[in-house]
Structure 1
Amino acid sequence: MVGSQRELTTGGSGVLPGFKDVPRVVWLLAAGVFVNAVVSFTFVFVFLYLTGPRGLDPARAGVVIGIGGLGLVAGNFTGGWFGDRFGHRRVLLVASLVGGLVLASFPLLATSLLYAALPLAQYASGVIRAANSALVAVTVPEGARRQAFAVVRCVSNGGFTLGPPLGALVATAFSYDWLFVADGVGTLFFACWTARVVPARGAEKQAAARDGGPGRGLLAELRARPALLAVLGAILVTDVVYRQQYGVFPLFLADHGLDPRAFGLVIALNGGVVLLLELPAAVVLRERPALAVIGTGLVLVGAGYGALLLGAGIGSAVTMMILISLGEILYKTTATAYVADQSPEHAVGRFQSLYAGISVCGVVLGPPLGGTVYSAAPGLLWPLCAVLAASAGAAVLWTHRRAGGRPPRHAVRPAHETGSRPRAVAG
């Protein structure tokens, strides 16, 4: 069956209340994101894989994973740049094909080649993330971007929630090698699905126009948007703090007599709260000023780490995770949409890539910084985290008040890459 143009570009009558302005193509893209996220479980088991079947000692395994983390950050920083030049859909397809083939080939590679293969796969993953965000940004009109990014984030989190237990079953029933094969096949499926559901018309023409079209350089565009610079700086600080929940936090619980099941409980709670509340929050807050929502979310992340000052019991850990989850719901989706709304038309991808890279810097910076502070002064880490995140949020709220609650708009026209009139998609 071939759907009508209206069915492609609007949510239709069957969508959730408050999401009617999210184009159908975003829902289709989100379906592919969900499937890919379900089988993207290798990141959870890669350390066990390297120290188990591959026989690396923990130090060497850590080096491989660390280099892979650098690849992920680099991919996020550069994916949008490639998209602005060659087209976001095209870049997403190429990165998905490369990443899928590399992951699926892991069982066939010599251990020494993993030092290059894992960073390459992670780099492709980062490019996919940035290109996917840019695709959503150029497809969705201003006013519906928060809901659109919330949809994509929600289904992605849902997939990542289902993935680890499924991956554990695959690893125990078969072998770790099948995890990488499944992840690679899922990434290749995502490439095929995206090629099918995202229209290509106009992509090459628009990419060429952007190459030769008018527009200031990235630094000049950023200097013209001081509020955006404040948001990016606050996100950088907060992401380093945010990532401590995956690094030092489980060690902190273990040092205070709580076994790994307690950590599993609070991490599962994070996924549950996000899945339950992210979409309703996007609808309820869609008319609220973006900077106010972002700033409040960052303050809640700080409050979450502040809850650990009450003690190291399960109650304070649960309180911490609920507050961090609420903060994540407020700031992550809203900040992604805010960057899209502030992007000039010729640099949508570069702005999304800049945000994407900054928003994962904590993956690389968080563990060594947090571990160093915790080793030197265990009682200092959580107060420091609370102050840093809360201060970052306060800076964004101050920027909002300074702008009088009405920040300057630099909106991007929707669908400049996929075409203002997307073609019908075979269903």
Structure 2
Amino acid sequence: MGFFGVVRDVPRTVRLLAFGSFLNGVVSFTFVYLFVYLTGPRGLSVPQAGVIAGFGGIGLVAGNFTGGWFGDRYGHRRMLLTGALVSGVALAALPALPVAAMYGVLPLAQYAAGVVRAANSALVAVSVPEGSRRQSFALVRAGGNAAFAVGPPLGALIAARFSYDWLFVADGLGTLIFAGYAATVLPAHGTAHSRPAHDPGAPGLWRELRARPAVLVLLAAILCVDLVYRQQYSTLPVFLAEHGHGARFYGWLLSVNGGLILLLELPAAHALRRRAPLSVVGTGLLLVGLGYAVLIPGVGALFAVTMMASLTAGEILYKTTATAYVADQAPAHAQGRFQSLYAGASISGQVLAPPLGGALYAHAPGLLWPACAVLACGAGVAVLAARRPWGPWGSGAVPGPVRAEAAVPVPERQTRPG
């Protein structure tokens, strides 16, 4: 089945959300140039800029971890719109604020962006039947990846033609336009998008997670592997530069990575839709670990290309499948909170990877890549081991909505909601 055939099998609501992710992603370029803006036009020192950027990163992770909690209580559509409005206004106002205010406003904007990300994932989950979610999450990720190919060059053009201040104004206005688009395409009443899912009589989040030990293993594995995965944005360029590979070579590696993901992730999700999800995720995590292991014996261009190829294959396998697996395992009343836990774990490396990887590389550079390989491969092995039915019931039979690892048959054409 071709690309358009796969897209047709995705519910209309998800296609609209994917296009919205593209629109929002195109203007979300300020994080790429934030450090340059703070140390350039704003005149801050590198340590000051690092603190503000770090606070923003913490806000983003916190928004991802908590956005689903609000969505379950007040409705995911409402939280997506609220987060987009708050983020848009804060970003547009940022250039006019004094430096002291940026310590609070930037984390607020990033927190709201994290809420939007968690709400968007929850909206996809409630729009698609269980067992049919991989292609849907892959399509939304494709929208975001396509936007990343367009956004940074567009941001560079705006900064060069106008100023860095206009980057934040454009990002804020674009986010507000996204809010208007989402309000138009997502029904305001009478759907799972707008209805709160909170059930006061339902089991608490921790009890639901304990009943799904494989989900806990997966979340811990994603937390570990994201710390490893995001070394490609922090210590890897430093490592390559110290071994004779300049910024152009590094940029080319990232371009190939992004291009392959954009081309292959959606077809791979469709082709592997009947494969047991934890098997696919575990294999992907192992490929991430093996990719970094390639850097242990050599630093030539061939080693770097091989490393990126393995990392790309691993990302294609694990990211979409893991998101869909968490959605499939979540009870209806906690779908947002489950998605928030995954979203937070999957972006935690943005805050943790630079300081931890940088510290290890500074004190024992020869240990960084072996440590990355061991951590990611260990996470992969743990996920593969979690495939067996297990839990407090002994026999492996899981009552209620809890499901053991299995390949789920998916019909050729998904049923569209509504």
- Name the structure 2 match of 1:358: 345
- Name the structure 2 match of 1:81: 69
In 2 relative to 1, CA 18–31 (structure 1 residues): closer, same or farther, beyond 3 Å? closer
Q: Distance in 1 between matches of 2:50 and 2:22?
A: 29
Give 3-state SS (helix, strand or coil) of 1:308's partner.
coil
Equivalent residue for 2:277, pick from 279, 290, 294? 290
Equivalent residue for 1:381, pick from 362, 368, 393? 368
- Name the structure 2 match of 1:142: 130
Matched, 1:339 2:331: no
CA apart distance, 1:123 = 0.4
Provide the TM-score with structure 2 as the length reference: 0.92
Conserved in 2, the CA contact under 8 Å of 1:306 and 1:382? yes
Conserved in 2, the CA contact under 8 Å of 1:19 and 1:283? no
Equivalent residue for 2:57, pick from 49, 53, 69? 69
CA apart distance, 1:243 = 0.9
- Name the structure 2 match of 1:241: 228
CA apart distance, 1:214 = 3.0
- Name the structure 2 match of 1:229: 216
In 2 relative to 1, CA 421–315 (structure 1 residues): closer, same or farther, beyond 3 Å? closer
CA apart distance, 1:182 = 1.0
- Measured against aligned partners, the alpha-carbon deviations of 1:64-122 in whole angstroms (never above 9, x if no partner) come to 00010100010000100000000000000010001001111112111221111110111
Matched, 1:163 2:156: no
Conserved in 1, the CA contact under 8 Å of 2:126 and 2:192? no
Matched, 1:320 2:312: no
Equivalent residue for 1:91, pick from 57, 71, 79? 79
In 2 relative to 1, CA 115–90 (structure 1 residues): closer, same or farther, beyond 3 Å? same
CA apart distance, 1:401 = 4.5
Conserved in 1, the CA contact under 8 Å of 2:75 and 2:193? no
In 2 relative to 1, CA 253–205 (structure 1 residues): closer, same or farther, beyond 3 Å? closer
- Measured against aligned partners, the alpha-carbon deviations of 1:137-164 in whole angstroms (never above 9, x if no partner) come to 0011112210000000011011011111
- Name the structure 1 match of 2:178: 190
Equivalent residue for 1:251, pick from 222, 235, 238? 238
Query: What is the alpha-carbon root mean square deviation over aligned residues?
Result: 2.0
Q: Distance in 2 between matches of 1:311 and 1:63?
A: 35
In 2 relative to 1, CA 308–200 (structure 1 residues): closer, same or farther, beyond 3 Å? same
Q: Distance in 2 between matches of 1:19 and 1:29?
A: 13
Matched, 1:410 2:402: yes
Equivalent residue for 2:96, pick from 92, 98, 108? 108
Conserved in 1, the CA contact under 8 Å of 2:137 and 2:323? yes
Give 3-state SS (helix, strand or coil) of 1:202's partner.
coil
CA apart distance, 1:366 = 1.0
Provide the TM-score with structure 1 as the length reference: 0.90
Q: Distance in 1 between matches of 2:16 and 2:417?
A: 17
Matched, 1:17 2:9: no
Where structure 2 has 5 or more consecutive residues not aligned to the other structure, the ranges are 391-395, 404-415
CA apart distance, 1:18 = 3.4
Query: What is the total number of aligned residue pairs between the two structures?
Result: 399
Q: Distance in 1 between matches of 2:397 and 2:100?
A: 51
Conserved in 2, the CA contact under 8 Å of 1:227 and 1:407? no
Give 3-state SS (helix, strand or coil) of 1:346's partner.
helix
Q: Distance in 2 between matches of 1:152 and 1:407?
A: 34
- Measured against aligned partners, the alpha-carbon deviations of 1:381-407 in whole angstroms (never above 9, x if no partner) come to 00110111011101111121466xx99
Q: Distance in 1 between matches of 2:80 and 2:97?
A: 25
- Name the structure 2 match of 1:262: 249
Conserved in 1, the CA contact under 8 Å of 2:211 and 2:402? no
- Name the structure 2 match of 1:56: 44
Q: Which amino acid aligns with 1:71?
A: G
Give the 5 Å matches for 1:12-51: 16-51=4-39
In 2 relative to 1, CA 206–124 (structure 1 residues): closer, same or farther, beyond 3 Å? closer
Q: Distance in 1 between matches of 2:128 and 2:384?
A: 26
CA apart distance, 1:15 = 7.5
Q: Distance in 1 between matches of 2:16 and 2:193?
A: 24
- Name the structure 2 match of 1:3: none
Equivalent residue for 1:200, pick from 171, 179, 188? 188
